[in-house]
Amino acid sequence: MFIEKPTIIEAAGNKPKLIEEFFGRVNSQDANVSIARMSSPEGWTEPGQTPEFDEYTVVLTGALHVKTKEGEQKVSAGQAILIPKGTWVQYSSPYEGGAHYMAICLPAFSMDTVHRDA
């Protein structure tokens, strides 16, 4: 399957964040995996969530702040993190310049399975 271009997906959070889905429920109608390029501005934060999918994140530029109940981690360009399904997590980009990263979800991201905090 060839993907000519991603679909822009609306993002949650306190500031506009760009989500470009290449594979997933919207762009390729694939429920098995979602692969998206994310661009979050400096100062962006999203609500916490407890998803029913594993999320693999690879930071391309900048840095993300990843908070779980077990602790907090700065994930910088060239680094990656796996958040297993069922783990409460909150992503943010508080660092100068924000962050550009790839997110891979198995199975694919869904609003029905992300379970965001109220």
pLDDT at residue number 85: 98
Q: What is the DSSP string of 11-78?
A: --SSS--EEEEEESTTTT--SS-EEEEEEE-TTEE---B--SSEEEEEEEEEEEEEEETTEEEEEETT
Q: Which domains does the chain have, with CATH numbers?
A: 18-114 (2.60.120.10)
pLDDT at residue number 51: 98
What pLDDT band is residue 16 in, cutting at 50, 70 and 90? very high
Model confidence pLDDT, tens digit, residues 78-92: 999 999 999 999 999
What pLDDT band is residue 14 in, cutting at 50, 70 and 90? very high
